[in-house]
Amino acid sequence: MKPGRAIELPDLASPRFKANPYRFYARLREEAPVFRCRVPLVGVTHLVARYDDVLTVLTDERFGNDWSPRMPWLLRQFARPITRSMLNRDPPDHGRLRTLVHQAFTPRRIERMGDRIQTVCHESLDTVAASGRFDLVRDYALPLPITIIAELLGVPVRDQPRFYRWSKSLLAVSSNLAVVRAVPQVWSLVRYLGSLFALRRATPGDDVVTGLLEAEEAGDKLTEDELLAMVFLLLIAGYETTTNLIAIGALTLTLNRPELGRFQRDPVLRESAIEELLRFTSPLDIGSVRMAREDIALGSVVIPRGALVAPVLGSANRDANQFPNPETLDLTREPNRHLAFGRGAHFCLGAPLARLEARIALTTLFGRFPDLGLEQPPESLRWRRSFLLRGLEELPVAVAARPR
């Protein structure tokens, strides 16, 4: 760390911090790019802030994803149904589990979902068009990805709202007391998934849960804990980050009218626009924790064997050494090697689906409501409590509707 006033660690999960974490991240990149601190629930951790270092953490096999030996006892017991997913596994288990779920996210299958995504977008906007005012999170950014991932998994429509309540409670956990309070939510989810597995064993369908069960029965040795963890990961990762991308993406475009105009006028740049919104908003603010398998040097800091490391994606995506004018939204930015979906072996399997959903959702939203505006000052918006994610609690907007 460079000499100067000591850096005080803010509450990284607090709504106040999530509203604008970038000043703190800029200071880390400048003064303490590998910042050793104590993070609630996780313990002593090294926050890694610079792009090149974050890329190393994501791709270097000397950093392992399975840090369960270092988890505090309370978190280990709480997260047991979750930590057996491929997100927290190292080779060879990671490759085996990733192969099993790849069927859900093949390019051909994702491409076929475009029409369904478009339909859900229009149905949601039809519902709110008459009132002229709505909560963009609750009424639009949330229903789309949760509907799509639930349909992929074979979750009945009537049960879909329950997953949002469960995941919101679980992802807000940032203290030991919050862990204890969230235990009933975990077990409610575990019981529900157990009943869903029983239903799909008795009545197979054309869905991912059925596919995982059939793979298990074919001898792929998918344990019950692994099955629970995989479906939990797909449910949460399958809509949480996409909801945040759509909502914060809409907010960002609304606050950057010249770029919004380019987005509306030029269909050609919409793919690059989504990449820039991913970089600029970083819906997954902090990547999954890794553990050093040996002593590893990052810059001038040596991370000792067994130490924990948290790659700060939101900081890496604003690093001026990688992105010229990183605080400026530029929908035509090229190249744009952002790390919003991670990198390496654990690159987000659902990235093509998230990109497709965000592109269709934002194109449809601003096509239907080109004069969309905020109902309150942006500084008064409420952000969610979460260590890993960056998302809005709500986004009240007013519209001037155009017919479909």
Give the whole-number percent of the chain exceeding pLDDT 70.
Answer: 88
- Closest CA relative to residue 103, chosen from 156, 163, 152, 157: 152
Q: Sign (positive/negative) of CA torsion 210, 212, 217, 223?
A: negative
The 10s digit of each residue's pLDDT in 81-90 is 666 677 777 8
Sheet of strand 290-292: strand arrangement: 34-39, 43-48, 308-311, 290-292, 63-64
The 10s digit of each residue's pLDDT in 150-167 is 888 888 878 877 776 776
The 10s digit of each residue's pLDDT in 203-257 is 998 888 888 888 765 566 677 788 888 887 787 777 889 999 999 999 999 999 9
Q: Give the Cβ contact number of residue 113 at 10 Å.
A: 18
Q: pLDDT band at residue 3, thresholds of 50, 70 and 90?
A: very low
- Phi, psi (degrees; rounded to nearest 5) at 134: -165, 165
- Distance between CA atoms of residues 279 and 273, nearest Å: 10
Fold of 15-398: Cytochrome p450 (1.10.630)
- The pTM of the whole model exceeds 0.85: yes
Q: Give the Cβ contact number of residue 279 at 10 Å.
A: 24
Residue 124 has pLDDT above 80, yes or no: yes
- Beta-strand relationship, 373-374 and 396-398: antiparallel
Q: pLDDT band at residue 202, thresholds of 50, 70 and 90?
A: very high
Domain ranges in the chain are 15-398
Q: DSSP letter for 95, please.
A: H
Residue 72 has a pLDDT of: 65
